[in-house]
Structure 1
Amino acid sequence: MKKLLLAASIMALTACSAPTEPQLNINPEPVLASQPVVKGKALAVDSRDLRPAQFVAVVDNGEKSVQPLHAKQNLRLVMQDALTRQFGAQGYTIDNQSQSKLRLDILEAMVNVKDGMMSHDLSSKLQIQLVVESPKGKFVKRYSGKSARSGAMSASVEKMEEAMNNLIGAVLKDIYADPELNTYLQENL
């Protein structure tokens, strides 16, 4: 009995010291306007993560081994924060009690990695949907982006982070510069 208890204790300690899977640091840069473009318009911002899987990268090393990688932070909250900062810099007052609501739906956010000993291929996809509801109506629009790059040697976690952060940043720029969205917000809030 003592030997069994000792073996179980050793296995438990070994499991605690086993290396953890790497995680990606997702920290996109929102577009911050130098001058506010609106005044006195309040907006509540919310978000939903509608992805079927919660990991942000999949690494396939070709040996029938596929490794999913998660983000260090909650992707939904990171993207909601970036969007809130972006709209705040445009002059919108972010107020959870506002009758006008903007919801961010994350539909897809993934970096697919084909990893070999001498080279790697990164393929990133992002698809989100913005839903604006105000007393005057509803606006729904999807934004998406894709990127692909190749490199020498094995793909690092930093390269995967850079791919996803750059892609989210590009989609945030599209949102910032979207005349249809900006016109709707200015006329209907």
Structure 2
Amino acid sequence: MNCIKWLTAPLLALGLTACASYYPIAVDVNPAPAQVGGGVYRGQTLALSSADNRASDFIIQIEQKDKSPVVVGAANNLRLQMEQALAQGFSTQGAFIEQGANTRATLELQEVLSRVIRGHISYDVVQKVRVQLVLERDGRRVVKQYRRSAQQEFPGRLHPELAPVTEALNQQLSLMVQDILADRDVQSFINGN
């Protein structure tokens, strides 16, 4: 009988941790390159940098009734991914990205989160993305705020599949990059107007 108690405790603990470890600790985030037209800039130079000012570094939070939330991070550097997508977009539009350029742009991540909320036979996914772009040149400074949010429902009785959640988040991040690249105020500032 004592042997059974000795085996039961570790098996119970293993079973409980198996539920928590069902989800990966990180997922790949990779915003798609922006599909933008060229000819916006005629060889203007731009120094581009980024900062991650988010309160938390996880990007997915899974919420189930009577359970502690499970959080999932990004497997790659989200700040760098967004900066590279933006740099590629500016380059496609005709700008040259150079570190010592007189015109500077800093992309600041403020919130990137997908909340996965358990329903009866499905999961609601609420996504919020918020970034700020700071443009500077010759003592002049322009700050632009960008926000995107979306809500979707995914089927699932036991556990939500994270692949479609990650894909939906990638889509929001890609649209955010396109919003910045299409912003007339940004284009005007970089062009020196």
Displacement, 1:174? 1.3
SS of structure 2 residue aligned to 1:77: helix
Q: Indicate conservation of the 8 Å contact 2:129/2:149, yes or no.
A: yes
Bigger shift: 44-53 or 131-140?
Answer: 131-140
SS of structure 1 residue aligned to 2:50: strand
Displacement, 1:102? 0.5
Between Structure 1 and Structure 2, how many residues are aligned? 172
Q: Indicate conservation of the 8 Å contact 1:32/1:85, yes or no.
A: no
After TM superposition, list the pairs within 5 Å mapping 1:7-156 onto structure 2: 21-22=23-24, 23-116=26-119, 118-135=121-138, 137-153=140-156, 154-156=159-161
1:186 aligns with 2:191: yes
1:168 aligns with 2:173: yes
Which residue matches 1:11? none
- Flag structure 2 segments of 5+ consecutive residues without an equivalent: 1-13
Distance in 2, Cα, partners of 1:67 & 1:136: 45
Displacement, 1:103? 0.2
Displacement, 1:181? 1.5
SS of structure 1 residue aligned to 2:169: helix
Q: Indicate conservation of the 8 Å contact 2:103/2:190, yes or no.
A: no
Which amino acid counterpart does residue 64 of structure 1 have in structure 2? K
Displacement, 1:32? 3.7
Which residue matches 2:7? none
Displacement, 1:176? 1.8
Distance in 2, Cα, partners of 1:21 & 1:162: 16
Displacement, 1:136? 5.8
Q: Indicate conservation of the 8 Å contact 2:82/2:177, yes or no.
A: no
Which residue matches 1:5? none
Displacement, 1:20? 8.2
Q: Indicate conservation of the 8 Å contact 2:36/2:178, yes or no.
A: no
The two structures have a TM-score, normalised by structure 1, of 0.84
Distance in 1, Cα, partners of 2:59 & 2:182: 26
C-alpha change, 1:66 and 1:118, in structure 2 (3 Å) is: same
Distance in 1, Cα, partners of 2:139 & 2:188: 13
- Flag structure 1 segments of 5+ consecutive residues without an equivalent: 1-13
Distance in 1, Cα, partners of 2:102 & 2:178: 26
SS of structure 1 residue aligned to 2:36: coil
1:158 aligns with 2:163: yes
Displacement, 1:101? 0.9
The two structures have a TM-score, normalised by structure 2, of 0.82
